[in-house]
Amino acid sequence: MKIAIGSLQCESNTFCPLATRKADFDIAIGEAMLEKVHVKDLLEDARATIVPTLYAHALPGGAVAKEDFLWFVDQIVTPLPTSGLAGIWLYLHGAMYVEEIGSGEAYLLKHIREKVGYALPIALALDFHANNSDEICDLANIICGFRTAPHTDQIATERKAMQLLLQSINEKLLPSPRLARPYVLVPGDAVQTSVSPLREIMEESDRMELSPEILCAQVFGGQQWVDSPYTGPSMVVTHKHDTAIAQDYANSLAKLYWQARSDFSFLIEALEPAEAITAALQTPDKLVFISDSGDNTTAGAAGDNGFFINLLQNYTIEKVLIAGIADSQAVARCYKSNLGDTLTLTVGGSLSPRSEKAQITGTLVHRGEIIGYTGELAGESATIDCGNFTVVITEQRTAFTRKDIFQSIHLDVFDFRIVVVKLGYLFPELEQLADRSILAFTPGSSAERIQDIGLTQIPRPMYPFDDNFY
């Protein structure tokens, strides 16, 4: 029994003008990919012959460059034998958007089917934020997704998709998942699976899966920063053989989501940018984190908007840390200077034309490599003490999601009163440090409010643009 496996993941943000390139991906080809995914033991237990292809993973970013994406497709499709394959397992994001192509997942699946045909099952493990389509359901046989947001069950999802693939091979099943949409867009940061109203909808999907005929009943939250005709939440149900039942179940989950549309709310305090600063100033002797949510690199934004620095310059304010802003040229200038030098620098606006530039003057107090969002080294950084506020400039786009990222450049958040980060909701480690955390509705390619994003390609009617259309 030969089973092919592959993984290609990047969550796209089509409002970020910076294309995601091959160099942005962590890549493992052939046998080397086995260490990057978590299904090898399941395949060995099933005495399967593994056909490894490609593992490639990038942080969220702008649409993937077409030529680089086609190279990835080739790495997955070429090793597939044209006959003798029992099944295919793929771990994809589900919201990968490719320049001139659109859905990267649909394109990849279509090219796989052209080579291997439709007589063998393909199982997908996807992110909760996948933007699914009927086309994906027609091309795949099993569709699983994370059941947590924030995500904690990635490995469990990989394994579930593989177990269902093995079951389908053993029982000679070729299921066809069915999809329903609630036509509701709510900000991603208001959608957490452990919090009502989504918690109850997730519980309902769990109950559906108790039926042995239902292989998977999956709620997907969608990714709001992809402007496409298939953007948004979807409910995808895989029944062993009855597509009518699958469609009924998917419809009833979508109905629950629709009924709850006005019950989703931000789970942290969410304010206009100026109000966020005022609120922080009114919280003396406390550590306040402010999320510059419109420039959230973990949602694919460029991370180089000087908007918040410019805003802060209007206030008499002390002990503020801007963590951080991406600008490789400004970092290069710091590396040509000496520690202790006073520098006047223009920072930001070098990656995204939507981003403001900001001018800062201060003392160069630190230079060094910084740890990235997933623990890797993420290039050089420089820290400028401007008196009232301190700015970390990074060579590459980065995200301050954990304590060790601050520590890697010798910063202690407790030396500050206000820490400004380019995130949406705070990651759990920072949440523990914060006395108060505020999400600021700043402008940019990861604007939080659905009406501020600039979506033009989504299906209509769609809540909150339209209402009461059912």
Interface positions, 168-187, toward Zn ion (CB under 5 A)? none
Question: Nearest distance from residue 55's CB to Zn ion, in Å?
Answer: 18
Question: Nearest distance from residue 221's CB to Zn ion, in Å?
Answer: 8
Could you give the CA distance from residue 238 to residue 246 in angstroms, rounded to a whole number?
Answer: 6
* Closer by beta carbon to Zn ion, 129 or else 147: 129
**Site size with Zn ion, rule: CB under 5 A:** 2
Selected range binding Zn ion among 63-71, 127-135, 418-426, 450-458, rule: CB under 5 A: 127-135
Rounded to 5°, the CA angle 96-221-207 comes to 130
| Candidate residues 24, 68, 127, 292; the one interacting with Zn ion per rule CB under 5 A | 127
Interface positions, 129-148, toward Zn ion (CB under 5 A)? 129
Selected range binding Zn ion among 128-136, 319-327, 412-420, 430-438, rule: CB under 5 A: 128-136
Could you give the CA distance from residue 441 to residue 285 in angstroms, rounded to a whole number?
Answer: 24
Give me the amino acid identity at 330: A
Please give the C-alpha separations between residue 111 and each of 76, 117, 386, in angstroms, as whole numbers: 10, 10, 54
Question: Nearest distance from residue 151's CB to Zn ion, in Å?
Answer: 6
Question: Nearest distance from residue 447's CB to Zn ion, in Å?
Answer: 18
Selected range binding Zn ion among 58-66, 70-78, 124-132, 441-449, rule: CB under 5 A: 124-132
Interface positions, 402-441, toward Zn ion (CB under 5 A)? none
* Closer by beta carbon to Zn ion, 4 or else 56: 56
* Closer by beta carbon to Zn ion, 127 or else 395: 127
Selected range binding Zn ion among 42-50, 121-129, 210-218, 370-378, rule: CB under 5 A: 121-129
The answer to whether residues 146 and 108 touch, using CB atoms and an 8 Å cutoff, is: no
DSSP at 155: H
* Closer by beta carbon to Zn ion, 266 or else 416: 266
Question: Nearest distance from residue 301's CB to Zn ion, in Å?
Answer: 15
* Closer by beta carbon to Zn ion, 61 or else 306: 61
The answer to whether residues 68 and 41 touch, using CB atoms and an 8 Å cutoff, is: no
* Closer by beta carbon to Zn ion, 188 or else 349: 188
Residue with smallest beta-carbon separation from Zn ion? 129
Selected range binding Zn ion among 48-56, 99-107, 120-128, 304-312, rule: CB under 5 A: 120-128
Could you give the CA distance from residue 276 to residue 367 in angstroms, rounded to a whole number?
Answer: 30
* Closer by beta carbon to Zn ion, 185 or else 370: 185
Element counts in the chain: helices (H) and strands (E): 13, 20
The answer to whether residues 61 and 18 touch, using CB atoms and an 8 Å cutoff, is: yes
Helix 66-77 with 104-116: angle, nearest 10 deg: 30
CA-closest candidate to residue 370, choices 394, 401, 348, 339: 394
Could you give the CA distance from residue 33 to residue 56 in angstroms, rounded to a whole number?
Answer: 9
CA-closest candidate to residue 415, choices 371, 377, 365: 365
Q: Does 93 sit near Zn ion (CB under 5 A)?
A: no
Binding-residue pattern over the window 331 to 370 for Zn ion, x denoting contact by CB under 5 A: ----------------------------------------
The answer to whether residues 295 and 302 touch, using CB atoms and an 8 Å cutoff, is: yes
Please state the separation of Cα 206 from the chain's center in Å.
24
Question: Nearest distance from residue 331's CB to Zn ion, in Å?
Answer: 29
Question: Nearest distance from residue 466's CB to Zn ion, in Å?
Answer: 26
| Residues 133-150: b if buried by 16+ CB within 10 A, e if exposed | bebbbebbbbbbbbbbbe
Provide the binding-site residues for Zn ion, judged by CB under 5 A: 127, 129
